[in-house]
Amino acid sequence: MLVHGVVWDSSSPALRLHTPAGEFTDVALAQGSSLGLRVIAGLWCLGHVKVHGPGERTHVPCRSSSPAERGKQCGACFAKDDSRLMHDFHRGGSVPPGLRAYLMQPHWLYVATFANGATKVGTASAPRKWNRLAEQGAVHASYVANAEDGRIVRVLEDLVTRDLGLVQQVRSAAKATSLVEPRPGVELQAINRKQAASVRELLGGLAMTGYTVVEEEWERPALADRLCDARASGAIRHAYPATFDDGGHGLRVRSLSGAIALAGLPDAAGVEVEGSFVADLGALKGRRIELGRHVTEIPALQDSLF
């Protein structure tokens, strides 16, 4: 099965898999759930997406099941993917009718802060207002504007980056590393509120129409609390002692923020080793896996960990 990543379609996230039969299936990542898998070496194309409208899209599997070349796609699928065109739409780029309809729906501008204090500006379509930030793995976030459409919100996003220096991307590896020792929640909330206030001040002074400045804080999923607050985990935590590029892995989920899990590592008898481990399940995206009763091998690292 081919991993398409961690999805937050509701408050119960899941690892989304594409089966050889051409169907999607989800493996729940709720608190206490176990995840056992073997990774087959290689990184594979996830296919491409055709957007038909605001709530309609079709996933098209890679016809040749090719290795990934550009991100998580082969060259042919990258060229056919509608979603790649949305990033230039506000600069006058041409887009298909379905994608245009999607982009012309209302969008939100947000400011998200992560466990090390890194803060970014981003956008979310109205139907995915909450889910987008859940998948991003924000520790704290604020909505700063509601725009009439996706063109306006992306113009605002670029202005915030240009004038205030807020980035539009924080790497997943940095998010995972920072969650091993997250900064105190009070500090992160203060950072987010300060940055959000600066963005609102900027937006309030622009000679533009088509958007409204808003003051609203995002509600983080309860499943993320234990991971985002080191004091709440109640155990020493370490970086996950393996990589998801091959071999067997076994985890028991304790908390989840975005695609990053705070997990226990059971041995073959099901007994968890001491401590908690921060694992970036997003690294499974584009991997082929087999589900089963697998464990993470850590004996060689045991002494150095504890």
133-145 mean pLDDT:
97
Task: Give the Cα separation of 67 and 38 in Å (integer).
Answer: 18
Q: For residue range 267-286, what is the model confidence (pLDDT) as tens digits?
A: 887 888 888 999 999 999 99
pTM of the predicted structure, to 2 decimals:
0.90
Q: For residue range 194-238, what is the model confidence (pLDDT) as tens digits?
A: 999 999 999 999 999 999 999 999 999 999 999 998 775 556 889
Q: Which amino acid is at 136?
A: Q
Q: For residue range 145-182, what is the model confidence (pLDDT) as tens digits?
A: 999 999 999 999 999 999 999 999 999 999 999 999 99
Q: What's the confidence (pLDDT) of residue 303? A: 45
Phi-psi label, residue 125: left if phi above 0, alpha if psi -120 to 50, beta otherwise: beta
Which has the minimum average pLDDT: 6-10, 22-26, 128-132? 6-10
